[in-house]
Chain A
């Protein structure tokens, strides 16, 4: 795919990009070369034919000289890493939790205002090892072990953010953050608005959620559906080591409160990510597999179920387009819309509950905005409206399985 660089003002996306990321329309293919010129004021990226174009728009100026950054580079999967690939170094392999840790560490190195607070993040190294080694490196004041009081330490993080610190608040499991709902909804989301813009709350609230391996009902919750109505916050869900690191960095740099949803079962995914510094756009969806017949929208762990189903579908002759929506609030309706206009059929596969989940909101948004382009009703596959049972077989049936995805696609594409 050739890299096309567009002027900065084009496109409706990227309303809320962090300061030095570029508008989502620009895609820089990783195997191309010459990301070489580094100016103080502009982010310059190489294009296919070797000419360098600079993005000169005043809205996207990086005001301090940065180490070279590759925003929105497509994840280097096996297919892309050709022998003649990047002029840059060849990348390194790591697991998703290590990618998160790398992102966090880089941001903490870069900005002394970034601190981490949560239960067992310091000396213990984090219950999922995301903060391993950080306490030794940065000390106890920057990697804070809190007592078990979600309400209080979330509130504390928000209070600290009001003065200019940038805390990364970890919920050991997203479900525990229900105890901090008041702080997240009323203070985190609304303070910027009710103070007339005086205070910004640049917090990142992160933690693992989702259905794991028989963890029981209370530890398998999907909080994205509860938080999605809160005005003033942004929500993103990571799914690969590449976008985990990129989204973590973008979330920390964002001036808005961002909730980063990780998934318990994805922490050990392995992937090769670039050595250079990069961040991902917070409001952008990721095109996983371009196609023609149907648009499948998904996020987090369900991406892998969808890709598994996609293999079967390809063998059966279908050509699904798979998009990992990544940004749960706001939806990247630009990417999604373009896809709908191409394929005219939409299937949403999510892990949220059927009632009031992300899929429900997305269905409504697509129907409202792209109704004319749809040849079939939007279908949404979600988890069942039940507390997640402990028994393994029952737990399997609460979430969407690849076989169900295949059946749904066949139904829609009749």
Chain B
């Protein structure tokens, strides 16, 4: 105790000097865009195609950005956890912590013209696509300023201008939708691809195979990404799938198995997949990842797996720790800088939460808005033309 008091006093003594050093100038290494090549820890396994190389081209700036974005996502999910327990978020809340590498790695390989569509575990994908924290929290708390005006909720985040198509509650229903997005890209000759994300649970849905058949038949630029976090709610993959090799399940469609906790491997795989899809049609990516929370906030997550397993994965494979080690070993940032960054991010998230808490709830006239697309200045009635009506903008 005494020691810490001493050190804190010395800290306050030294503080002005450090902040002067820290804030205005960054060491030039950390914003360096000169390429660094890093080997992925785990090799890729492929089915009916060539594996991409294990050497990933990146840069200090990019790896630092990975760290920052993943830390922000992690912080956001933890804040959402607290808000849910405080009953400010209701209903279903599916958290993505542990899987952040997927969201950031994918973003690094693609542009905003490429479309992403995912399931209900969509908070971090939304942020990765450029969504703002305050929009996310407002939507989670059902406020008017949320990304879907408070009418969607946790499972319905969308961002049209960044080609993020949501946010879908029914398991597997987004897969045909995603193939439709790819179809539209082909129809419009966009030279863009669609990443259709689904989980190991959804991998057993018939509509996946229906959509895959169509995508392969018509050469659609669709990349089906199976986020294999090994549990479909409470059921482990070995109990739900006869064949756990999800990347091979495409049969005639090539597949790639990727270490989903390694942001750089994800980036490499997505880059490879995009090139493949634009030339040869669909490809399946299986991302081996893990979620620390249960399926949703109502699931403790420990009845079907041991706490040792969770903490084991957190120690060995945590995506943020991995990037932190990378940053330290390549001398891109110091321990202290990263800790400060995390503090900044924590404050950013807390501010966003506070701002979202202040936002207004939608007013009751919003109940009937956006049911149909309206033409200019018309009055609309409920389905039976009853007295309750709304004048539309």
Which A residues are closer than 8 A to B by beta carbons? 12, 14-19, 58-59, 115, 141, 144, 146-147, 149, 151-165, 182-183, 186-187, 191-200, 202, 231-232, 234, 255-256, 329-331, 333-334, 361, 365, 368-369
Q: Is the CB of A159 within 8 A of B176?
A: yes
Partner of B214, one of A156, A193, A195: A156
Interface contact B372-A192, CB-CB below 8 Å: yes
Assembly CA distance A195 to B148 (angstroms)? 5
> How many angstroms between the C-alpha atoms of A157 and B213 in the bound complex?
15
| Complexed CA–CA distance, A220 and B196 (Å) | 36
Show 13 residue pairs from A and B whose CB-CB distance is below 8 angstroms, ordered by the A residue: A12-B379, A15-B378, A156-B177, A162-B181, A186-B170, A196-B149, A196-B152, A231-B383, A232-B371, A255-B373, A256-B373, A330-B382, A365-B384
Taken residue by residue from 84 to 115, chain B's Cβ proximity to chain A (1 for < 8 Å, 0 otherwise) reads as: 00000000000000000000000000000001
A165 B177 Cβ-Cβ under 8 A:
no
B356 near A: Cβ within 8 Å?
A: no
Contact (A160, B184) CB under 8 Å given A151-B176, A194-B148, A232-B372: yes
From B180, B186, B213, B374, give the contact of A147 (CB < 8 A): B213
Whether A58 and B376, one on each chain, are in contact in the complex, defined by CB atoms closer than 8 angstroms, is yes
How far does the Cβ of B151 sit from chain A's closest Cβ, in whole Å?
A: 6
Whether the Cβ atoms of A12 and B152 lie closer than 8 Å is no
- Shortest Cβ distance from A186 into B: residue: B170
Q: Are A369 and B386 in contact (CB under 8 A)?
A: yes
Q: A residues within 8 A CB of B178?
A: 159
- Known contacts A152-B211, A158-B180; is A59 also within 8 Å of B372 by CB? no
Most chain B CB inside 10 Å of its own CB: which residue of A144, A146, A151, A182 = A151
Within residues 53 to 72 of chain B, which ones have a CB less than 8 A from any CB in chain A? none
Q: A193, B181: Cβ atoms under 8 Å?
A: no
CA–CA, A217 and B382, complex, Å: 34
Minimum CB–CB distance from B157 to chain A (whole Å) comes to: 9
Q: Which residues of B contact A15 (CB under 8 A)?
A: 374, 378-381
Taking a contact as CB atoms closer than 8 A, the residue among A17, A151, A154 that contacts B375 in the complex is A17
Q: Does B292 contact A (CB under 8 A)?
A: no
Q: Contact check, A152 vs B378: say whether CB atoms are below 8 A apart.
A: no
Cβ-neighbour of A194 out of B117, B156, B184 (below 8 A): B156
Stretch from B161-169, B232-240, B282-290, B317-325 forming part of the interface with A:
B161-169
Do B170 and A234 touch (CB < 8 A)?
no
Residues of B within 8 Å of A196, CB to CB, are 146-152, 158, 370
Judge whether A158 and B214 touch: CB under 8 Å. no
Nearest CB of A to B167, in Å: 8
CB contacts (< 8 Å) of B378 on chain A: these are 14-17, 59
Partner among A18, A156, A330 whose Cβ is within 8 Å of the Cβ of B385: A330
A155, B175: Cβ atoms under 8 Å? yes
Is A149 a contact of B152 with CB atoms below 8 Å? no
Q: Tell which of A59, A194, A329 touches B151, judged by Cβ atoms closer than 8 Å.
A: A194
**Given A152-B179, A152-B210, A195-B152, is A141 in contact with B385 using a C-beta cutoff of 8 Å?**
no
- Contact A155–B211 (Cβ < 8 Å): yes
Distance in angstroms between the alpha carbons of A147 and B187 in the assembled complex: 19
A151 to B218, CA, bound (A): 17
Q: A152-B211, A186-B173 are in contact. List 17 more A-B contacts (CB 8 A).
A: A12-B379, A19-B375, A147-B214, A149-B213, A152-B214, A155-B177, A156-B176, A159-B180, A160-B181, A193-B371, A195-B160, A195-B167, A199-B160, A231-B371, A255-B373, A333-B385, A365-B384
Given contacts A160-B181, A330-B381, contact A183 B176 (CB under 8 A): yes
| Docked-complex contact A159 and B376, CB < 8 angstroms | no
User: How many Å lie between the Cα of A365 and that of B147 in the bound state?
Assistant: 36
| Contact status of A195 and B156, CB under 8 A, knowing A151-B207, A153-B214 | yes
Residue of B nearest to A167 (CB): B180
B201-217, CB under 8 A of A: which get 1 and which 0?
00000110011011001
Q: Mark B228-261, 1 if CB is under 8 A from A, else 0.
A: 0000000000000000000000000000000000
CB <8 Å contact, A329 and B179: no
Known contacts A59-B378, A159-B179, A182 near B210 by CB under 8 Å? no
Nearest chain B residue, comparing its CB with the CB of A20: B375
Provide the residues of chain A in CB contact with B211, threshold 8 Å: 149, 152, 155-156
Interface pair A192/B370, CB less than 8 Å apart = yes
With A and B bound together, what is the CA distance between A192 and B369 in angstroms? 10
Closest to A201 in B: B373
CB proximity of B13 to chain A, nearest CB, Å: 51
Could you tell me if B170 and A182 are in contact, using CB atoms closer than 8 angstroms? yes
Instruction: Looking at the assembled complex, report how far the CB atom of A251 sits from the nearest CB atom of chain B, in whole angstroms.
Output: 13
B371 touches A369 (CB 8 A): no
Shortest B296–chain A CB gap in Å is: 18
A197 to B214, CA, bound (A): 29
A158 cross-chain contacts in B, Cβ below 8 A:
176-177, 180
Whether the Cβ atoms of B183 and A159 lie closer than 8 Å is yes
Contacts of B159 in A (CB 8 A): 198
Q: How far is the CA of A157 from the CA of B211 in the complex (A)?
A: 11
Question: Which residues of chain A have C-beta atoms less than 8 A from B210's C-beta?
Answer: 147, 149, 151-153
Interface pair B384/A156, CB less than 8 Å apart:
no
Indicate if the CB atoms of B165 and A369 lie closer than 8 Å. Answer: no
Contact B206 A200 (CB under 8 A): no
Nearest 3 pairs between A and B by C-beta?
Answer: A159-B180, A155-B176, A152-B210
Are B385 and A256 in touch, CB under 8 angstroms? no
Tell me, yes or no, whether B377 is within 8 Å of chain A by CB: yes
A169 to chain B, nearest CB (A): 10
Least CB distance, A338 to chain B, in whole angstroms? 12
Closest Cβ–Cβ distance, residue A139 to chain B (whole Å): 11
Of all chain B residues, the one with the shortest Cβ separation from A19 is B375
Closest to B165 in A: A162
Chain B residues within 8 Å of A141, by CB: 186-187
Interface centre among A59, A163, A369 (most CB of B within 10 A): A163
Q: Chain B contacts of A199 at CB under 8 A?
A: 158, 160, 165
B residues 188-203 with Cβ under 8 Å of A?
Answer: 188
Minimum Cβ distance to chain B for residue A227 (Å): 12
Least CB separation from A14: chain B residue: B378
Select which of B148, B156, B374 is within 8 A of A16 by beta carbon: B374
A151-B207, A151-B210 known; A159 and B384 CB under 8 Å?
A: no
Q: How far is A183 from B166 in the complex, measured between Cα atoms in Å?
A: 15
Asked if A162 and B177 make an inter-chain contact with CB atoms under 8 angstroms apart, the answer reads yes
A329 to B371, CA, bound (A): 13
Interchain CA distance A93-B211 in the complex, whole Å = 41
